[in-house]
């Protein structure tokens, strides 16, 4: 019988706790956030290597010229702040000194860059029922991929979904946090889509259940989901929007979804490059607003944590004209 001294167990337990602490700390950030931080850190190090200045510790005399390089390279002031924030986060994880981004020289430099750049953000063009209907009539539904792609498109539109809620970024599907086939709950005449993870629910502390009803329209999302389940049956833990080419099941990724969307938009002689994954969310919310859906239901349906949903609405000039018309009626 081998007898281990007591200090061995305490040392092993201490090591185990340290490993668990590092794992928990690493889990604090989403994989996409960690990838962005690595990009921001690499950008700063390459800048320092080019100008042959020591990158660490990060000092104000080096950071200010770096901010100017970012301003010369990026048209959006927000991108500059994102790169600086990523660098600061990386320094905190590595326990490397870094100037506070609230330092008045940094604040004024960013303010000056924003004034010089005068950047107008480009928002995704919203999809409309008319555009979706035109896509429907040119879509070859005999291919399993396009059946599932269409289901993702109309479900995304009618649930105001973020593309991250609907589709994985790559073929490395994570059934714990991404939409699965089991997240579609079928009722007699409707379907509930259960989103377990989102931008406003990164810790999975709640679920968002979004019911969708059948429609007497080619755009019916209930019919589209039923067609996908019939055409590409899959295991409950399989990707929510996936297609089957016997015997394998493949997820529809965000990149393939957007490239297919732009392909059909180009076929319709539309400016495809102005559309993105956000076009579903913005278009669905705008259509609901025009249909008279109360604002509190739009906010809840799309899982907006604030009134930011108002920026997603595309209000036409004819709708804006109603403001002065109604005011004139009561003058």
DSSP character string of 144-180:
HHHHHHHHHHHHHHHTT--HHHHS-SSS---TTTS-B
Q: What percent of the chain has pLDDT over 90?
A: 50
Q: How far is CA 191 from the centre of its chain?
A: 23
Give the DSSP letter string of 9-76: HHHHHHHHHHHHHHHHHHTTS-HHHHHHHHHHHHHHHHHHHHHT---SS--HHHHHHHHHHHHHH-S-
DSSP tag of 306: S
In a domain, 330, yes or no: no
Cα 136 from Cα 116, distance rounded (Å): 45
Number of domains in the chain: 2
In a domain, 331, yes or no: no
- The pLDDT of residue 308: 61
- The pLDDT of residue 75: 64
Same-domain status, 80 and 148: no
Same-domain status, 184 and 207: yes
| 183 HSE (CA, 13 A, CB side) | 24
In a domain, 198, yes or no: yes
In a domain, 183, yes or no: yes
In a domain, 82, yes or no: yes
- The pLDDT of residue 307: 63
Mean pLDDT per 10-residue segment, the chain (331 residues): 58 86 83 88 94 94 92 81 93 91 90 76 85 95 95 95 89 85 91 83 75 91 95 94 91 95 96 92 89 83 70 61 59 61
Q: Is 125 exposed, middle or buried (0-12, 13-18, 19+ CB in 10 A)?
A: buried
Cα 200 from Cα 63, distance rounded (Å): 32
Sign of the CA dihedral 267, 268, 271, 277?
Answer: negative
Looking at the whole model, is its pTM more than 0.85?
Answer: no
| 280 HSE (CA, 13 A, CB side) | 26
Q: Which residues contact 267 (CB under 8 A, 6 or more apart)?
A: 138
Cα 9 from Cα 179, distance rounded (Å): 42
CATH of the domain at 66: 1.10.150.130
Q: Which domain holds residue 183?
A: 129-317
Phi then psi for residue 225, to 5 deg, are -70, -40
Among 79, 95, 117, give the residue marking a domain's end. Answer: 117
- The pLDDT of residue 304: 78
- The pLDDT of residue 322: 61
Among 67, 91, 117, give the residue marking a domain's end. Answer: 117
Cβ-contact 99, 110 below 8 angstroms:
no
- The pLDDT of residue 331: 61
In a domain, 326, yes or no: no
- The pLDDT of residue 1: 54
In a domain, 20, yes or no: no
Same-domain status, 45 and 136: no
- The pLDDT of residue 73: 82
- The pLDDT of residue 120: 53
Same-domain status, 229 and 312: yes
Cα 301 from Cα 89, distance rounded (Å): 33
Q: Which residues pair with 243 in a beta bridge?
A: 250
- The pLDDT of residue 237: 92
In a domain, 13, yes or no: no
Same-domain status, 73 and 195: no
Cα 205 from Cα 115, distance rounded (Å): 40
Q: Which stretches does DSSP call E strand in 179-327?
A: 184-186, 191-195, 208-212, 242-245, 248-251
- The pLDDT of residue 314: 60
Among 117, 141, 157, give the residue marking a domain's end. Answer: 117
CATH of the domain at 161: 1.10.443.10
Same-domain status, 259 and 192: yes
Give the CA angle between residues 104, 102, 43 to the nearest 5°. Answer: 105
- For the chain, first and last CA: distance in Å? 98
Q: Is 276 helix (H, G, I), strand (E, B) or coil?
A: coil
Same-domain status, 147 and 109: no
Phi then psi for residue 210, to 5 deg, are -115, 110
- The pLDDT of residue 193: 93
Cα 211 from Cα 189, distance rounded (Å): 11
**Helices 104-117 and 60-73, axial angle in degrees (round to 10):** 10
- The pLDDT of residue 259: 96
Q: Which residues pair with 248 in a beta bridge?
A: 245
């Amino acid at each position: 019988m081998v007898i281990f001294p007591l200090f061995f167990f305490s040392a092993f337990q201490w090591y185990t706790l340290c490993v668990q602490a590092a794992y928990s700390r690493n889990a604090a950030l989403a994989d996409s956030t960690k990838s962005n931080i690595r990009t921001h850190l690499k950008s700063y190090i390459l800048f320092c290597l080019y100008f042959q200045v020591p990158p660490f510790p990060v000092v104000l005399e080096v950071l200010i010229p770096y901010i100017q390089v970012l301003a010369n390279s990026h048209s959006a002031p927000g991108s500059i702040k994102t790169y600086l924030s990523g660098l600061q986060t990386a320094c905190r994880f590595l326990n490397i000194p870094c100037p506070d981004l609230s330092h008045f020289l940094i604040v004024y430099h960013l303010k000056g860059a924003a004034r010089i750049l005068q950047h107008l953000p480009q928002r995704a063009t919203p999809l409309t029922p008319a555009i979706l209907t035109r896509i429907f009539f040119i879509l070859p539904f005999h291919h399993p991929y396009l059946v599932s792609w269409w289901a993702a498109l109309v479900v995304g539109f009618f649930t105001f979904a973020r593309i991250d809620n609907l589709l994985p970024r790559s073929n490395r599907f994570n059934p714990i946090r991404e939409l699965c086939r089991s997240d579609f709950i079928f009722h007699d005449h409707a379907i509930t889509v259960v989103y377990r993870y989102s931008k406003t629910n990164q810790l999975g502390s709640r679920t968002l259940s979004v019911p969708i009803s059948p429609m007497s329209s080619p755009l019916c999302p209930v019919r589209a989901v039923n067609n996908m389940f019939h055409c590409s049956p899959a295991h409950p833990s399989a990707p929510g929007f996936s297609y089957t080419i016997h015997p394998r099941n493949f997820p529809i990724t965000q990149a393939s979804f957007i490239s297919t969307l732009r392909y059909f938009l180009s076929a319709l002689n539309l400016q495809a490059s102005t559309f993105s994954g956000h076009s579903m969310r913005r278009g669905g919310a705008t259509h609901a607003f025009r249909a008279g859906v109360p604002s509190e239901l739009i906010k809840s349906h799309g899982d907006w944590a604030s009134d930011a949903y108002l920026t997603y609405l595309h209000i036409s000039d004819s709708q804006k004209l109603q403001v002065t018309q109604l005011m004139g009626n009561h003058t």
